[in-house]
Chain A
């Protein structure tokens, strides 16, 4: 049996939950048709469980303990340790989000089981399912075989499986609440309410065109080169993480897993290597143009058009051509 652990926030099922179900269903097909069950955690998850029950799963298990809100790694680990032990699945599938990164390694370590993170695809083999993940900043793909006893924990890269690929059931799956015991005294983290640093003045997710800059820009004095191109294209300026870390552009311009997710008609990546953390935020763009001096940069794996060369020569030529 495969457990798909979905995510909900304040009773709202998060979009990655359907991707997780789709991934679990694909794993089921690869592993010879194991049944799939879905799990939701947190008080007030009944509405979200009702939505999730539309999926073609055997059942939806809900865990509504008061100690599960707000989220803490200690409480989530304690709850899922009991659920996973009781249900004894072969695989536990989760989305690779900031939340699962926070508690799943702890859960897998406590149960002494493998955890394969940030999986982009999976396939069958004579030794069981193989999980493909990207290593060396996305330059190489590695096929990974879990060792040790089941269950094997697997987190799926956001976007690796399509939410609309999740098979829906003929009838709603049964929803079954299960009880767990969590000692509130054993939960050591005391979280405060989430907040945003600054009001986002720029909503890059609505931008039709984006010109984004990365490490290849070299220094902040070179920003006008990209800004001129952006002005000619009618594009917003975006950036990869190191540019915002260095303070060359405000955080609200950051594209990627810790910044904004964008899907413009045109995305021009200048001096961006295309590490996974950036790529997940922009690979939904309709047309991607990459300019990079490194012909082996992963950005060329996802680009529609690529120019290998010095951006300080190519970008002014690009701008001059647009001005003609």
Chain B
């Protein structure tokens, strides 16, 4: 089975991005980057499917040169090769531009199965995988927590809201967006890291005109829904003050 797994590189979860001068994106030189968390589960799912069914895992990513770090990480975990649509304009662009760029680079590969994370930790569009499926002419399922492959078909367990699930069957080729927690992610071994250095990363140019359909015109601190009282002092002092306020002010204990 020929499997593509799409990964995005995003600012680290722990970091607090600073805005750039125009206030429409973050200052990238001040940020640390890592592979998007749901995409890590998608990479793991792709490797497990290859282990069960044989074939090849191809990492696909769209973004500036820095993204090669996330690609190398997926290769070090065991993916076979990679396709990188490299373009600085793709940093901070919308899901449509990313998906159209990926679709162009992936179309001729004729993948049997495409996996993506369900959404990204940076802009959180939750769109890229589904747009990509539409552009590749594949059926899709989103927010998937289990995958079964048999004779040209796919059966996946979709997560619904409020603790409900549903199995959905569809023919291959297909695209599936992966929910976090579907598996236990493996980490790269030293051997894997060494092997990754020799694996092919095919660079592809993005379309001359990106299919951007929305732009950020301003970024700001989210509006506070509540006036938060920050309680300071030593742990004992803070705890005493918190309990006093919960008893006397909020009256909830």
Known: A197-B163, A266-B252. A145 touches B215 (CB 8 A): yes
Query: Count of chain B residues with Cβ under 8 Å from any Cβ of A?
Result: 78
The stretch of A36-44, A86-94, A300-308 that contacts the partner chain:
A300-308
Closest CB-CB distance, B222 to chain A, in whole Å? Answer: 4
- A228: interface (CB < 8 Å): no
Q: How many Å lie between the Cα of A314 and that of B131 in the bound state? A: 46
- B123: interface (CB < 8 Å): yes
Q: Which residues between 211 and 248 of chain B lie within 8 Å of chain A, taking CB atoms?
A: 212-226, 228-232, 235-236, 238-240, 242-243, 245-246
Known: A102-B130, A115-B213, A138-B222. A74 touches B139 (CB 8 A): yes
Q: How many Å lie between the Cα of A190 and that of B154 in the bound state? A: 10
- A1: interface (CB < 8 Å): no
- A85: interface (CB < 8 Å): no
Task: Give the residue name and chain of the B residue nearest to A193 (CB).
Answer: B166
Residues of A within 8 A of B221 (CB): 140-141
Are A309's CB and B121's CB within 8 A? no
Are B143's CB and A101's CB within 8 A? yes
Are A140's CB and B17's CB within 8 A? yes
Task: Give the residue name and chain of the A residue nearest to B125 (CB).
Answer: A117
- A179: interface (CB < 8 Å): no
Q: How many Å lie between the Cα of A35 and that of B141 in the bound state? A: 34
Q: How many Å lie between the Cα of A133 and that of B122 in the bound state? A: 12
The stretch of B56-64, B75-83, B167-175, B193-201 that contacts the partner chain:
B167-175
Q: Which residues between 241 and 268 of chain A lie within 8 Å of chain B, taking CB atoms?
A: 241-242, 244-246, 251-252, 257-261, 265-266
Q: Which residues between 81 and 134 of chain B lie within 8 Å of chain A, taking CB atoms?
A: 95-96, 99, 121-131, 133-134
Closest CB-CB distance, B249 to chain A, in whole Å? Answer: 9
Residues of A within 8 A of B95 (CB): 105, 115
Closest CB-CB distance, A303 to chain B, in whole Å? Answer: 5
Closest CB-CB distance, A56 to chain B, in whole Å? Answer: 27
Are B219's CB and A143's CB within 8 A? yes
Q: How many Å lie between the Cα of A277 and that of B230 in the bound state? A: 24
Known: A265-B252, A266-B246, A276-B124. A308 touches B230 (CB 8 A): yes
Are B13's CB and A137's CB within 8 A? yes
Residues of A within 8 A of B152 (CB): none
Are B217's CB and A233's CB within 8 A? no
Are B245's CB and A305's CB within 8 A? yes
Contact of B17 (CB < 8 Å), options: A117, A136, A147: A136
Closest CB-CB distance, A104 to chain B, in whole Å? Answer: 8
Are B127's CB and A305's CB within 8 A? no
Task: Give the residue name and chain of the A residue nearest to B162 (CB).
Answer: A260
- A224: interface (CB < 8 Å): no
Interface mask (A20-43 → B, CB under 8 Å = 1, otherwise 0):
000000000000000000000000
Q: How many Å lie between the Cα of A137 and that of B180 in the bound state? A: 15
Task: Give the residue name and chain of the A residue nearest to B94 (CB).
Answer: A114
- B21: interface (CB < 8 Å): no
Known: A305-B246, A314-B238. A196 touches B165 (CB 8 A): yes
Q: How many Å lie between the Cα of A196 and that of B26 in the bound state? A: 41
Residues of B within 8 A of A101 (CB): 126, 130, 142-143
Are A244's CB and B181's CB within 8 A? yes
Are B235's CB and A317's CB within 8 A? yes
Residues of A within 8 A of B229 (CB): 304-306
Q: Which residues between 129 and 158 of chain B lie within 8 Å of chain A, taking CB atoms?
A: 129-131, 133-135, 139-143
Interface mask (B67-80 → A, CB under 8 Å = 1, otherwise 0):
00000000000000
- A206: interface (CB < 8 Å): no
- B202: interface (CB < 8 Å): no
- A50: interface (CB < 8 Å): no
Closest CB-CB distance, B162 to chain A, in whole Å? Answer: 7
Known: A143-B217, A194-B165, A266-B252. A318 touches B225 (CB 8 A): no
- A109: interface (CB < 8 Å): yes
Are B239's CB and A300's CB within 8 A? no
Contact of B216 (CB < 8 Å), options: A98, A144, A257: A144
Are B214's CB and A190's CB within 8 A? no
Residues of A within 8 A of B242 (CB): 289, 305, 307, 318, 321
- A225: interface (CB < 8 Å): no
Q: How many Å lie between the Cα of A188 and that of B156 in the bound state? A: 13
Closest CB-CB distance, A81 to chain B, in whole Å? Answer: 11
Known: A196-B165, A260-B162. A321 touches B214 (CB 8 A): no
- B160: interface (CB < 8 Å): yes
Given A142-B219, A194-B166, A306-B229, 13 additional A-B pairs, CB 8 A:
A98-B143, A103-B130, A106-B133, A117-B127, A142-B123, A143-B219, A146-B213, A194-B164, A241-B181, A276-B124, A308-B232, A310-B235, A321-B240
Can you list 18 pairs linking A and B with CB atoms under 8 Å apart?
A73-B130, A101-B126, A101-B143, A103-B130, A105-B130, A116-B214, A117-B126, A135-B123, A136-B17, A146-B214, A191-B166, A209-B253, A244-B181, A260-B162, A266-B252, A276-B124, A302-B225, A321-B240
Chain B residues in the interface with A (C-beta under 8 A): 11, 13-14, 16-17, 19, 26, 95-96, 99, 121-131, 133-135, 139-143, 159-171, 174, 179-181, 212-226, 228-232, 235-236, 238-240, 242-243, 245-246, 250, 252-253
